[in-house]
Amino acid sequence: EKGGFKHYMLKEIHDQPGVLRQGLESHLLNAQIALGPVQELYPQVEQMQIVACGTSWHASLVGQYILQQVAQVPTTVHYASEFRYAPPPYRPHTLTIGVTQSGETADTLAALSLEASRQLTGTPWLLGITNRPESSLGRLVPYVIDTRAGIEIGVAATKTFIAQVTAFYLLAFDLAYQRQIITQEKLELYLANLQKIPNQLEWILETQTPAIEQLAYQFQEVQHVIYLGRGINFPIALEGALKLKEISYIHAEGYPAGEMKHGPIALLDKGVPVIAIATPGTVYDKVLSNVQEARAREAHLIGVGSAANSEIPDLFHVNLTVPEVPELLSPLVTVIPLQLLAYYIAAHRGLDVDQPRNLAKSVTVE
Ligand code: F6R
């Protein structure tokens, strides 16, 4: 049932092109985005707030970026465990989105229940983005986007992350189009680019795996790793670090690259690899200059960047190549090498990748 892969996690990483294809197919009807009843709220929504934990929280940060930059909807993201005891003041016309793969995470459910109790009349404005519509979440919220990634067995979330991010793209593109923030041509362009991604993910999996497997051997003695990203790829730096921590037990931190000089740069030396996401876009040059600063501290530099960038090979010691895609869609490709790297580091160490110590697949207690 692992499809010939050594672990479920590796199988699920390889499932991702199919998950994305399926996610797009099931939410597009006659080239129109079809997200169901939640669309009836679009005209009235003034802002959004998202509650989630862990990897789902990272997907939410990507979602926030797209909702704000494309759909122009003010959006905040909260750790569900913080929101439930210190929610922001109640504001009407707010859509609250709970993102949870399992639909059973206690803190996320509690945050949504709290929000429901503050909305005194009518159907609560609660949207769930989940892989399990039949879960407790499904019973709690009136609106659901089913991410349809198929059951995920590895404790470390991979394919469900991609599916959650895809749900946010569709929500933001649809909202932007319905509110006439983007034209039909623009919408079609976004969707066409999105539909190219599954093949691009296959390309990464096929061509980059040998280099990543090799690179993973160099992490045998490493104790700390820094992940850098900016803009829409800052959440991917966080996600890369979380994947490494949870399955390999190596300490890792994700930072927005521009924040390095405000403290974390003191950590850098030869023994602390720096993995930077440097794909073309608004903050590309900025990331490269942040990486230069790390280079001056003799850090071992690993870049996740696109093949087309000639600067990249000179700056980094190792390059993990991803196809060049529009900046807005880049998280879908940049996360893949980081998942693979975390996987191979843990697998080389002989660890129980699918069942890391101290972790459960769904966290149903506070
Ligand atoms: C990380 C991971 C966890 C979950 C978190 C939320 O790989 O799996 O961080 O993302 O426990 O779980 P869900 O999405 O089920 O609410």
CA distance 36 to 19: 20
Q: Which helix (H) or strand (E) element contains residue 298?
A: none
pLDDT at residue 358, as a whole number: 86
pLDDT at residue 313, as a whole number: 63
pLDDT tens digits, 35-44: 999 999 999 9
Residues of the chain falling short of pLDDT 50: none
pLDDT at residue 311, as a whole number: 62
To the query of whether residue 361 is one of the catalytic residues in this protein, the response is yes
CB 175 within 8 A of CB 42: yes
Count Cα neighbours of 267 within 13 Å in the Cβ-side half-sphere: 18
Pocket test for ligand 1, best of 77, 101, 165, 248 (most atoms within 8 A of CB): 101
Pocket test for ligand 1, best of 363, 364, 365, 366 (most atoms within 8 A of CB): 363
Q: How far is the centre of ligand 1, averaged over its atoms, from the C-alpha of 117 (Å)?
A: 25
Percent of the chain residues topping a pLDDT of 90: 87
CA distances from 178 to 102, 161, 187 (A): 30, 26, 10
CA distances from 61 to 17, 52, 162, 215 (A): 22, 10, 13, 28
Tell me what ipTM this predicted complex has. Answer: 0.98
Q: How far is the centre of ligand 1, averaged over its atoms, from the C-alpha of 11 (Å)?
A: 18
pLDDT at residue 120, as a whole number: 86
| Catalytic residue from among 2, 186, 286, 361 | 361
